[in-house]
Amino acid sequence: MRTVRTPIEIKAAPEVVWNLIVDTERYNTWNPIYEYLRGNMFPGGYVELQMDLDLDGIADYIEDQNIKEQMQGGHHVNTRQKQVFKIIELIEPEYLKWEMKKFAGFFLHHIQTFELDRTPEGYTNFTFVQEVGGFLGNMMPGNYYYNYFKGFNTYFNQALKKAAENPDSIFQ
C-alpha cells in the first residue's frame, strides 16, 4: 500500500480537534471536502461520507506544477463521490482509523488514519495518513499519487486547524 503522512500542529487541545473529526452533525461546517459524515463512530461501525472535492483548493497545496495544472478546473475527476468506510480502530481522543474496500480490497483498498498527540503545551500534533492499495490504487502513477494525497491531506489539515483554533468563526 502506498502511504502519505501529512502532519500539522494545531493550537488547540486534542479533545477539541477530536470532536471536530467525529462530530457527524457539524462535519460539513468546517470541512471543505465533504458535504456530510453519517454513521456510527465505534469500532466495527460504518460511516458514509459524501465528497464534493474542491480541486482548485487541493491544487493550492500541490507541489508539482504539472499535476497542479491538471487538478485546476477538475474536468478529469468525478468530484462528487459517496464513500463508505468501516471503522477499524478508535481510541478517543488519539486515534481513528477507517477503511474502504472494493471487491475485498482487490480493486481498491483505502485507509484513512487520524492521529492526535498532545504536545507539552497542551496543543495537538495531528497527522492525516492516507494509504491506498489494490489494483486501482497501484495503477495511479507514484508522483501523481503523492502530490494528490499530499494536497488533499494538507487542504483537510488546514481547514481542521482553522476550525479548532477559531471555533467561533464556524459555529455561530
15-19, 26-30, 133-137, 139-143: range with lowest mean pLDDT: 139-143
- What pLDDT digit, counting tens, does each position of 11-65 carry? 999 999 999 999 998 888 898 888 889 999 999 999 999 877 666 666 676 666 6
| Residue position matching grid coordinates 481547514 | 159
Is the Cβ–Cβ distance between 149 and 128 less than 8 Å? no
Is the Cβ–Cβ distance between 126 and 7 less than 8 Å? yes
Q: Which fold has domain 2-165?
A: Alpha-D-Glucose-1,6-Bisphosphate; Chain A, domain 4 (3.30.530)
Predicted confidence band at 172 (pLDDT cuts at 50, 70, 90)? very low
Predicted confidence band at 148 (pLDDT cuts at 50, 70, 90)? confident
- What pLDDT digit, counting tens, does each position of 86-130 carry? 999 999 999 999 999 988 888 889 999 999 999 999 999 999 999
Is the Cβ–Cβ distance between 98 and 85 less than 8 Å? yes
Rounded Cα distance, 32 and 71, in Å: 16
Which of the two residues, 47 and 155, has the higher pLDDT score?
47
